Amino acid sequence: MANIPKKLSQINLLTFAVNIVFQLRSHLRAKRMKKFIIVVHGGAGRIRPESREKALRGVKKAAKTGFDVLRKGGSALDAVEEAVKIMEDDPTFNAGIGSTLTIDGKIEMDASIMDGKTLNAGSVAMITNIKHPVTLARIVMEETDHVLVAGKFVEKLAEKFNLEKCNPVTEHRLKIWKEYKAMLIKGEYQYLPKTTSLIKLLPELADTVGAVARDQDGNLAAATSTGGLTLKLPGRIGDTPLIGCGNYADNEAGAASATGIGEVAIRLVLAKTVCDFMRNGLTAQKAVEKGIELVKTRQNNLPMGIIAVDKYGNPGISHNSESLSWAMVTSDSSKVIAGLKYPP
Ligand code: ASP
């Protein structure tokens, strides 16, 4: 019997040693090969049958655009920004053009970007008319002393930097908004139980994109952009612009982008939590799975998705939502692979 603890500690030591060897080998291999990778998502929201093909095409185009930046030696930061811009331009996704509407039918977009090399980050919230909120987030990161700026002033800043304007409202999004608002009024909209009671007091009141990448120099970056949650209250800011909640990157750990009910990602500080799992030695895939496990056990299994890359350039994708459109390209094969669920 006395031998059992000794045996256990031997096993622990062996597991520890195997882990170190595995990490060392991954590290050397990644360095030697200058492995680069981009993973994108088009949100954890339900994808209607008529939008499936478009969503798949959209995430593939975004991953390919970001990968081309990396292939030419560009930075992970440029790659995630370019990939997210492609999805902001695509009305299929709830970001940029095609963003979802607040309970009073307005546009309030959020976006963020983070550089894993320096831990510099920028984010914007409550943006109403800018075509590429992710680029505005980058301007906040590079041209201001702040991390998060919301509202009218930052739109003025966008003008000074000649960012394109647009009206992000689409017919498709208006149709969804009307359907959901009718459900909310009848008390049938499950994700906003308190808003259902609130609209009795205020009767006038009713899919995100992300990218993570590792470049040829081993730098990591993450970017996320969203119209937010359909029927959100005016002024509600979600997880996307909150660094660590919807978006995080650290060269010493990994990069992650989350989607789903923003309040869940805020309560779990989900993107940073997943990065810390990678910091402590988990691969990107194990880390995102553990993140979704937390959503199941601590947040009532509300629908979420998360993508990641670890510092060795391994991808991770996990979700408990019905679908998650995603795509990735790695320097191992240069082929775009994509799906509407993971594993496909
Ligand atoms: N996480 C976003 C938010 O709550 C929504 C989404 O991912 O679709 O603002």
Where is pLDDT greater, at 208 or 319? 319
| Atom of ligand 1 lying closest to residue 265 CA | 1
Per-residue burial over 172-183, b = 16 or more CB atoms within 10 Å of its CB, e = otherwise: ebeebbeebbee
pLDDT for the residue numbered 205: 44
The residue to which tokens 């993570």 are assigned: 212
- Arithmetic mean of pLDDT, 138-162: 95
| pLDDT reading at 243 higher than 60 | yes
- Arithmetic mean of pLDDT, 113-130: 98
Distance of CA 23 to the CA centre of its chain: 26
pLDDT for the residue numbered 106: 94
Query: What are the structural domains, with CATH classification, of the chain?
Result: 35-339 (3.60.20.30)
Distance of CA 62 to the CA centre of its chain: 14
CA atoms of 126 and 106, how far apart (whole Å):
10
pLDDT for the residue numbered 206: 42
At 8, phi and psi to the nearest 5? -60, -45
pTM listed for this prediction? 0.88
Return the amino acid letter for 131.
K
Cβ contacts of 95 within 8 Å, gap of 6 or more: 43, 84, 87, 88, 109, 111, 133, 207, 208, 209, 225, 226, 227
pLDDT for the residue numbered 221: 98
| pLDDT reading at 200 higher than 80 | no
pLDDT for the residue numbered 263: 95
pLDDT for the residue numbered 47: 85
pLDDT for the residue numbered 16: 67
125 lines ligand 1 (CB under 6 A): no
239 lines ligand 1 (CB under 6 A): yes
For residue 107, report the distance from its CA to the centre of ligand 1, in Å: 14
For residue 239, report the distance from its CA to the centre of ligand 1, in Å: 7
For residue 45, report the distance from its CA to the centre of ligand 1, in Å: 9
Strand order in the sheet with 148-150: 148-150, 121-127, 109-115, 220-226, 209-214, 37-41, 326-330, 337-339
43 lines ligand 1 (CB under 6 A): yes
Across 227-344, where does the E strand assignment appear?
247-250, 254-260, 304-310, 315-319, 326-330, 337-339
| pLDDT reading at 83 higher than 80 | yes
For residue 233, report the distance from its CA to the centre of ligand 1, in Å: 13
Q: Which of 101, 102, 124 is nearest to 112 (CA)?
A: 124
| pLDDT reading at 11 higher than 70 | no
94 lines ligand 1 (CB under 6 A): yes
Torsion of CA 107, 210, 166, 154, to 10 degrees: 70
Tokens of 249: 């990157």
Cβ contacts of 120 within 8 Å, gap of 6 or more: 114, 141, 142
- Arithmetic mean of pLDDT, 83-92: 97
Instruction: Mark whether 118 is an active-site residue.
Output: no
- Catalytic pick among 92, 195, 208, 224: 208
Query: Which whole-number Å values give the CA distances from 305 to 11, 198, 321, in the listed order?
Result: 34, 28, 7
Torsion of CA 168, 62, 217, 24, to 10 degrees: 120
108 lines ligand 1 (CB under 6 A): no
| pLDDT reading at 145 higher than 70 | yes
Tokens of 137: 């987030």
Are the CB atoms for 50 and 107 separated by under 8 Å?
A: no
